Amino acid sequence: MKDSIRIQDDLYHHVNGEWLETAVIPDDRPVTGGFSALDEGVEKLLMADFAAFASGEKKTDVPGMEDAIRLYRKVLDQKRRDEDGIKPLLPLLSKIHSLKSIDEFNANLSKLFLEGAAMPFVCAVTDDMGDATKHCAMVMGPSTILPDTSLYAEGNPSKAQMLQLYSMMATAILSFSPLSKEEQAKVLQDTLAFDALIATKVKSQLEWADYVKCHNPTPTEDVAKDMAPLDIKSFLSDLFGKDAPDTLVVYDPKAIKEFRELFNEETFPLFVSWCYLNTLLQQSKYLSIPMAETSGMFRRALMGVAKDPVLEKQAYQTASSVYDQSVGVYYGREYFGEEAKKDVVNLVHRIIDTYKLRVKKNSFLNENTKEKAILKLSTIEVKMGYPDEVAERCAKLKLTDEESYFEASRKIAASRIQENIDKLTKPVDRSEWLMPGHMVNACYNPTCNDITFPAAILQKPFYSIHQSIEENLGGIGAVIGHEISHAFDNNGAKFDEKGNLNNWWTESDFAAFEDLTEKMVEQWEGLEIAEGKVNGRLVVSENIADNGGVAVTLEIMHSLENPDFKKYFINWAKIWCRKAKPEYVQLLLVRDVHSPAELRANIPPRNFPEWYEAFGVTSSDKMYIPEDKRLTIW
């Protein structure tokens, strides 16, 4: 506790202030504390296990783990990686560099895609928002160099600085290539010019935050006309064969409608350079250590990170990412207690039941809409801890000892692409987990109407079977309520209990909900921290969820015998404890749909009378807002 800061003025710094003064952010991370501190602990634990597996001291029969260890060893094989250098990538770079026309590019489009060349569009198979039992093929524009299109605005002081940092990295990575100095300079110049064009076409992070607007089913014929002269139909035919989709879901309509302004005979030379440099940057992490380090310069600068993790940590991170479900099941079986799982599952059902009661008491919904909201709550599936079995994509992904890291990376990429292609004609597998057991996080999936709580988040301060019920409610309970509330945020509210985009609201009810959503935007808009201001519309979905998570758990608090609301709010502040690099916080303010941690701790409590009663907060205190400005949606 930071006694010099009154809790009535600043809950976050009162609870976390002393820790913030002494906490040290690791050199290879942009942040520590809260979620990140738990992740550091899980990482340290599993790194020790991976080292023991690699040395033969320890064994496991979890499917996929043997190949995860093979991949781990390949990342660690610095001698082979440095000896190979850029050589494994040269055939692909040569193909890109020799492209002379769009016709030649179209003739090789699917091959280049499968070999890992950077594409001027994104195409993949994903869940169909319109029919959650099926998959669909989606298409959208490419990514920009800078983290958001808003940063390209004229007069933005950080634009030139960030592009200069990128150019330094690009110049350094191009020096590994066989291109002459003059060719390297032209590749960079062309890439920046093509990127500037991309920035005028693709969505901003604020637009992406309204993810329901990604659902734009369009006949493939129409998309093909918009994307000409690129031959998207032949590309789809090569990938999907007789199952090539006759409809594409356009995630980024402007980018596709105006695609020919980005990709045409005049801009094609710019694209070739952009493709060359982006392919080199994307693939460098699988090559020599110097190339891998160089390719991360821009990312590290944006986040304020001093250096990459040590090679052993990189090896663990790579293997645990590719074989995420295998590692998650191993972690769950090895370290997660069934007693804790049972306790938290019971808490989830208690929160869902309380949520139903709150919906019944809701003042802005009519009875028909309430019934449908309660139906949605009743059908939420709970995924707690880790899955019973390892996902097939991990279990069947086999590597050999002879393959280099680069060769293994291409095999992994090819496997993932084929797996994604094969999904198009298969029904959605609702048993699939979006997060592995060793991840410190939680999520709601609107198209499956399920919530996932990996084993790794079920630790102090979020949860402990030895913590008080008040602390657990202020920790994991509020997080559970948060994820449930995503079913009723400004995006999730548009999906029904089966996960389909479907308007189950009356017109007047939804208008009332939208009015409350706007008030939530206003409550957060322009709130300032040291690194910048909050965009209230960008973060509104997460703030609705935080508000709902606090509301439902405070309701449960009232059912306890002699509830200690002080413990609740103190632990709520603890879970948001975070120390981060200023550059990283600035990056998050631009592109993250979550509000800054200190505001997530301090703003939601102010909306509830329990906060004022627990600590005697009055109008003279900084943690006070007038009653007519307090907001509760769910």
| Contact call for residues 337 and 459 (beta carbons, < 8 A) | no
Supply 170's token pair: 């690009």
Helix (H, G, I), strand (E, B) or coil at 390: coil
Give the C-alpha separation, 29 to 314, whole Å: 12
Give the C-alpha separation, 483 to 156, whole Å: 36
Residues contacting 19, CB < 8 A, separation 6+? 33, 577
Residues contacting 166, CB < 8 A, separation 6+? 145, 298
Angle CA(208)–CA(213)–CA(219) in degrees, nearest 5?
A: 120
- CB-neighbour burial class of residue 561 (10 A; exposed 0-12, middle 13-18, buried 19+): exposed
Supply 614's token pair: 């627990």
Helices (H) and strands (E) in the chain, counts: 31, 11
Residue in 623, 473, 457, 493 with CA at minimum distance from that of residue 550: 473
Catalytic-residue membership of 546 = yes
The residues with which 124 forms a beta bridge, in sequence order, are 138
Residue in 618, 373, 360, 582 with CA at minimum distance from that of residue 484: 373
The residues with which 529 forms a beta bridge, in sequence order, are 532
Give the C-alpha separation, 603 to 350, whole Å: 25
Helix (H, G, I), strand (E, B) or coil at 452: strand
The residues with which 453 forms a beta bridge, in sequence order, are 384
What's the one-letter identity of residue 65?
Answer: M
| Strand ranges inside 98-232, DSSP E | 122-127, 135-140, 217-219
Supply 149's token pair: 């299109």
Supply 596's token pair: 């800054």
Catalytic residue from among 226, 231, 546, 610: 546
SS3 content of the chain, % helix, strand, coil (to 5): 60, 5, 35
Catalytic residue from among 226, 483, 489, 496: 483
Catalytic-residue membership of 103 = no
Give the C-alpha separation, 119 to 440, whole Å: 32
Give the C-alpha separation, 83 to 175, whole Å: 17
Residues identified as active-site: 483, 546
